[in-house]
Amino acid sequence: MVTPGLLLVDKPEGITSHDVVSRVRKLLGTRKVGHAGTLDPMATGLLVLGIESGTKLLTFIVGKDKTYEATIRLGSATVTDDREGDILTTATKDQLEEVSEENIRAAIATLTGVIQQRPSSVSAIKVDGERAHARVRAGEEVELASREVTVSRFEIIREIRFNQNHIDLDVVVDCSSGTYIRALARDLGNDLGVGGHLTALRRTRVGEFNVDGVYKFEPESKVDILELATAAKTTMPTIDISAQDEIDLRHGKRITGQVKGFTAALNEGELVAVVECAGANSLKSLVVFSKEGTDV
């Protein structure tokens, strides 16, 4: 029997997030595998996968803040806002020479904090029921509406590399869910008047989870599934409940209590449910887990 819980995976470059899910399904011998947010094929880094009833926890992880490390190339803009798209514009040598480190840092500052961001046109956002990237690849021009996102950190982490035809900078970004790093690269380039796109992207953190020591698709890498209770304790507050509370939650009843936000309810160390307040001193279940860790 496959242990239900979460599997943290370091996605390699060149495959889709769905490819990762397919590989893990074969690896573990189960069809019930899902993920808490995709990564583009070009990107590497942390994917949080739910295994068996662990997929129920993904709802509470997908909206968490994330950290990325990226390389931004200033000097050209592309259709996809990354290196895989056709080049739209290229800056002249004179334009690039006008861009200083001070200019770059000032432009980065304007893209930090609570900002309005227009997602990349090749994002997975649906437009009239169809993914935006599919419409772009079919030859349509797509411009998505701006949305509010929070960029709590946008910093240069290595020396800026000034070249004759482009400028490369390595950055780290802490941001809210739904922030597009490609769009930051695009907007930084636009603000500097030279265009910009991503040449590398790596996700290093999702909420409380980071990429260090996680599973890789390599022979020596160990599959280490975080069991349900451990995974829940890592991602949200917990409360201990009684045996009677457990019975009531399993039968769809409310129990007495008060919590703030999503909370894991455990009885004798076993994850029973994720609960939230349903009025004064009353809790209701959002998802319930059986004793065997399978769906109820």
Residues with Cβ < 8 Å from 154, sequence gap 6 or more? 108, 111, 112, 171, 172, 173, 184
40 assigned to active site: yes
* Residue 70, CA distances (Å) to 42, 190, 250 in order: 11, 18, 45
CB atoms within 10 A of CB 86: 7
H-helix segments, 38-77? none
Q: Which of 40, 81, 174, 245 is catalytic?
A: 40
Gap between the Cα atoms of 80 and 86, Å rounded: 7
Residues with Cβ < 8 Å from 159, sequence gap 6 or more? none
155 near 175, Cβ under 8 Å?
no
**Which pair of tokens denotes residue 225?**
């599934």
Dihedral of the CA atoms 17, 19, 22, 26 (nearest 10)?
-120
Dihedral-angle region of residue 71 (phi above 0 means left; psi in -120 to 50 means alpha; beta otherwise): beta
**How many CA within 13 A on the CB side of residue 130?**
10
Count Cβ atoms within 10 A of the Cβ of residue 102 and give its class: 0-12 exposed, 13-18 middle, 19 or more buried: exposed
Helix H or strand E segment including 17: helix 17-28
Helix H or strand E segment including 245: helix 243-250
* Residues with active-site annotation: 40
